[in-house]
Amino acid sequence: MSKTVADVVKMGKEVEMVDFRFTDLPGTWQHFSMPARELTEELFEEGMGFDGSSIRGFQEIHESDMILIPDPDTAFLDQLLEVPTLVISCDIYDPVTRQPYSRDTRYVAKKAEAYLKQTGIADVSYWGPEAEFFLFNDVRYGGSANSSFYYVDSREGWWQSGKDLGPNLGAQIPPKRGYFPVPPTDTMQDVRSKIVLALEAAGVPVEVHHHEVATAGQAEIDLRFDTLTRMADNLMIYKYIVKNVARQNGLTATFMPKPLFEDNGSGMHVHTSLWKGEGNVFYDEAGYAQLSDTAKFYIGGLLKHASALLALAAPTTNSYRRLVPGFEAPVNLAYSQRNRSAICRIPVYSKSPRAKRIEFRAPDPSCNTYLCFAALLMAGLDGVQNRIDPGEPMDKDLYELPPEEAGQVKQVPGSLGDVLDALEADHEFLLKGDVFTMDLLEAYIAYKRQVEVDPVRMRPHPHEFTLYYDV
């Protein structure tokens, strides 16, 4: 049920603090708080000022003043904090023009939803991401001019099986054997359940939780599908609650795509459907996998723009430790029903028209979900508008193809630098309806190259000492 400004002001009378949150360009929540007595209806019109030059990807120092306008519909009670606190997400505005800020990624998501309606293809899109993560018992990392290291540990990690832990109770999870074991092998059941209960208390419905494939506490909690901007909002709450419940239970959570060598990384498979009125426009009983022509053209758009999309959907250098050809990673530019080796999968668990959807498997949870979802929608709509043929489906194991067949299946680029280049070359589809702006894309690409690509590229890798120290 939607919340009005009056509803939220009333909620504020039941707490001591109000916390205002917004998302920076890379996709991390930022916040500040004020006493609950300051929450008035006028605040939702006038907004609150902040220094945009201190936020990653935002303003220069000479134009730093920005305004936050709270969105009452996002308010929830934060039950993880000791001091009773009401949390409200905000939209970002320019104080001079009083117009929405072009680099506010939540605004991009809202514009994508408005553009969908404008096209007439559908009225609404629904989104169901599967964001995986790890729960570790210990993490240490650092680096300097003459050193670089990381170390993670988990009581259920397979490397613990031979240690004297005084006592070692066994049942550690071997690599790639973490999918669905019951406790005590699954040591994280209660922690995941606590996360689910906290999510539900915050108004974020959950469908299922379970241990994932990797050893060392890999987990997945699936949220019930929702509209684009609301689901991106829910994922911000999701990450926040996962990290805080983990910390309260003596654990550390990470959404880093590939924290472990020789085991599965954490992805974020994204399920999407488009609806017009009461009808799912992706459904056609007579089509392949019960897909309509609209759905197939949507897939065509995803496949055509996949390289550029990954700059927004798998946006870290670490993402490409996961997206490696020849392993269990969705790098093949193909579509199929059931087949998890294709970048686009059509789940066939149910024959109901309401359940028909497309799963895009390349994204990971390091992304800014507002930008990721908006970009996926724009690519799919471009496919529908231009009737882009996705080709024939690939209903076979793409990792076991004969060399002559495998060579005909295109794959995604292998590094963050490559996909940023692809985004520079292929972005016109994102600019339709002024959903994305060149200002945002240029700032995003520059940030990624300067802060992530170049520093990683210039540093010696610890394994290079094993390979090359004695050359």
Does the annotation mark 130 as catalytic? yes
State the residue for tokens 């579509």: 335
- Three-class HEC string of 293-346: HHHHHHHHHHHHCHHHHHHHHCCCCCHHHHCCCCCCCCCEEEEEECCCCEEEEE
Residues 6+ apart with CB under 8 A from 450: none
C-alpha atoms less than 13 angstroms from C-alpha of 450 in its C-beta half-sphere: 9
Active-site pick, 130, 186, 233, 263:
130
**117 membership: H or E segment, kind and range:** helix 105-119
Nearest Cα to 40, choosing from 76, 13, 79? 13
Q: Is 427 a residue of the active site? A: no
- Catalytic, 98? Answer no
Catalytic residue among 357, 361, 382, 452: 361
Query: Does 278 qualify as catalytic in the annotation?
Result: no
Cis ω on the peptide bond leading into residue 184 (within 30° of 0)?
A: yes
Half-sphere exposure of 236 toward its Cβ, with a 13 Å CA cutoff? 28
CA neighbor of 309 nearest in space, from 266, 358, 361, 346: 361
Instruction: Mark whether 220 is an active-site residue.
Output: yes
Query: Which residues touch 386 (CB under 8 Å, ≥6 apart)?
Result: 297, 301
Residue tagged active-site, from 24, 71, 104, 132: 132
Identify the active-site residue in 38, 41, 46, 51: 51
**Positive or negative CA dihedral for 79, 139, 327, 453?**
positive
Q: Which of 24, 113, 220, 263 is catalytic?
A: 220
Whether the Cβ atoms of residue 301 and residue 383 lie closer than 8 Å to each other:
yes
- Three-state SS string over 191-240 comes to HHHHHHHHHHHCCCCEEEEEECCCCCCEEEEEECCEEHHHHHHHHHHHHH
Catalytic residue among 104, 263, 359, 452: 359
Handedness of CA 412, 416, 418, 421 (dihedral sign): positive
361 is catalytic: yes
- Note if 132 is an active site residue: yes
Question: CA–CA distance from 25 to each of 120, 131, 301 (Å)?
Answer: 30, 19, 25
> Which tokens belong to 58?
């935002």
Q: 16: closest CA among 71, 78, 73?
A: 78
Angle of helix 306-313 relative to helix 293-304, nearest 10 degrees? 80
Task: Name the active-site residue from 269, 305, 322, 357.
Answer: 269
The answer to whether 452 is a known catalytic residue is no
- The full DSSP string for 388-427 is ----S---S-GGG--HHHHTTS-B--SSHHHHHHHHHHS-
What CA–CA distance (Å, rounded) separates 371 from 285? 32
The CB density around residue 463, as the number of other CB atoms within 10 Å, is 9
- Given 91, 104, 113, 212, the catalytic residue: 212
| Identified catalytic residue from 98, 224, 340, 354 | 340
Rounded-to-integer distance, Cα 326 and Cα 171, Å: 30
List active site positions: 51, 130, 132, 212, 220, 269, 340, 359, 361
